[in-house]
């Protein structure tokens, strides 16, 4: 029986092209699943404040998740007052390890900066003095940049990266949507067999391999790489776009409608 939902946000729960951006049926499903004791976590590359903005103001969700897994790393629990508290010491450890990564990866990141000068309009992203990622103008440029990143990371195995369309974020290999999901599952004492995960793009791949969640799915708008991984993991590729695909997937796995006992 599914006891935990781990859903990406942009492109999975919400569509930026469809009207409505979220099908009302999703909210009904989430309410009924929550009433049945199922825990819901949004697992996103957004920062905490950006995730809150998306849920509360940008798309006006009438229901909020129990947990937010943000920046493909940190885990927060919703408080009764509507705020968010870190779960255990995971966030602290992640911050420590990431700080060590950027110190050791400084020579590699200098090479990345030089390499990406070949692209028109590329933007380097900085945070607290660290070069943490890039934005290119085209997917083709990002394809080439990610090929280069894949080559240089062989020299520093702890260095990894997470891509979403024309955005890439540099990260520690031990922290991803997948490992954050497994840490949340450990905190909740849940096995992968009790977990459903859905996502649509490259940065969702780590939680869709069938290891962290046994019930994996993707909406019809997912990139080919996600569809292939979900297929290989014995998951479900929905026809519906974004939230419609999530609802379709919940039906496929028998999680919703909730069976009254």
pLDDT digits (tens, 9 = 90+) for 209-260: 999 999 999 999 999 999 999 999 999 999 999 999 999 999 999 999 997 6
Predicted confidence at residue 250, as pLDDT, reads 98
Tokens describing residue 63 = 């229901």
User: Which run of H or E residues covers position 39?
Assistant: strand 39-43
What is d(CA 261, CA 252) in angstroms, rounded to the nearest whole number?
A: 20
Check whether 175 has a pLDDT greater than 90: yes
pLDDT digits (tens, 9 = 90+) for 24-50: 999 999 999 999 999 999 999 999 999
What is d(CA 53, CA 67) in angstroms, rounded to the nearest whole number?
A: 15
Please give the model's pTM, rounded to 2 decimal places: 0.93
CB atoms within 10 A of CB 171: 24
Residue 83, SS3 per DSSP: coil
Average pLDDT score over the chain? 96
Residue 153 is classified by DSSP as G
**CATH dotted code for 4-72+176-252:** 3.40.50.1000
pLDDT digits (tens, 9 = 90+) for 6-24: 999 999 999 999 999 999 9
Long-range contacts of 253-260 (CB under 8 A, 24+ apart): 253/2, 253/196, 253/215, 253/217, 255/2, 255/5, 255/33, 255/38, 255/196, 255/215, 256/29, 256/32, 256/33, 257/29, 257/32, 258/32, 258/33, 258/35, 258/36
Radius of gyration of the chain from Cα atoms? 18
User: Which run of H or E residues covers position 245?
Assistant: helix 243-252
Tokens describing residue 85 = 């508290």
Check whether 128 has a pLDDT greater than 90: no
What is d(CA 9, CA 18) in angstroms, rounded to the nearest whole number?
A: 14
pLDDT digits (tens, 9 = 90+) for 96-121: 999 999 999 999 999 999 999 999 99
pLDDT digits (tens, 9 = 90+) for 154-170: 999 999 999 989 999 99
Predicted confidence at residue 261, as pLDDT, reads 60
């Amino acid at each position: 029986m599914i006891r935990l939902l781990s859903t990406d946000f942009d492109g999975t729960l919400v569509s930026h092209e469809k009207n409505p951006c979220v099908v009302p049926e999703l909210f009904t499903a989430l309410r009924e699943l929550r009433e049945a004791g199922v825990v819901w976590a949004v697992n996103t590359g957004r920062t905490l404040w950006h995730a809150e903005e998306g849920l509360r103001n940008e798309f006006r969700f009438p229901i909020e998740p129990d947990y937010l897994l943000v920046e493909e790393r940190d885990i927060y629990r919703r408080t009764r007052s509507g705020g968010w508290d870190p779960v255990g010491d995971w966030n602290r450890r992640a911050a420590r390890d990431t700080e060590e990564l950027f110190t050791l990866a400084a020579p590699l990141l200098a090479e990345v900066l030089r390499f990406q000068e070949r692209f028109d309009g590329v933007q380097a992203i900085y945070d607290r003095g660290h070069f943490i990622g890039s934005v290119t103008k085209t997917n083709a440029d990002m394809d080439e940049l990610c090929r280069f990143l894949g080559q240089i990371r062989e020299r520093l195995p702890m260095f990894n990266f997470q891509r979403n369309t024309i955005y890439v974020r540099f990260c520690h290999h031990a922290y991803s949507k997948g490992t954050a999901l497994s840490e949340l599952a450990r905190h909740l004492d849940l096995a992968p067999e009790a977990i459903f995960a859905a996502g649509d793009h490259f940065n969702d791949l780590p939680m869709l391999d069938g290891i962290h969640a046994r019930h994996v799915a993707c909406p019809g708008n997912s990139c080919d790489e996600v569809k292939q991984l979900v297929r290989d993991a014995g998951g479900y590729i929905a026809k519906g776009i974004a939230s419609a695909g999530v609802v379709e997937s919940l039906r496929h796995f028998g999680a919703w409608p909730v069976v009254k006992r």
